Amino acid sequence: MRYKLEPQDYELIEHARDAINDVFSYREGPYQKHRVGAAVRTKSGEVFKGVHMEIENGRMTICAEPVAIGSAFTACYSELDTIVAVRHPNPHDENQELKVANPCGACRELIAEYNIKIIGINTDGELIKTDIGEFLPFRDRVES
């Protein structure tokens, strides 16, 4: 199901942008090749942020979305409504705009587990707000 993007959804995108901008304003490390910030809004309106935590051992890298979700859970908020991730461009990229990025497969599974709506980009490159099922089709299908 698709939802209309509301002003609070655009604010959530800005929170994700702030999260990653705040990190890169003070830290530039050798392993920061994947630069993502995320923000999740609870059903009561609180916003929690997270950033991608990359280390040399890629197996231990943590995406921004679980960090944001974990921040909400740590603050005792478990009813989550909407999440968005934003990618920070590489320093050599011509376009330095921070853009909404779709979650990886593992993050899609996590988001589906908690039934969180997602703001992402569809196949036509349009910004949309939808249930995670659109990004993770057939997840709940079983053979009858």
The dihedral sign for the CA sequence 126, 4, 1, 97: positive
Cβ pair 30, 61 in contact under 8 A? no
Distance set, CA 90 to CA 38, 111, 124 (Å): 17, 26, 24
Q: Given 3-state DSSP classes, what are the helix, strand and coil percentages for the chain, each rounded to the nearest 5? A: 30, 25, 45
Active site residues: 65
| Angle at CA of residue 86, ends 42 and 89, nearest 5° | 165
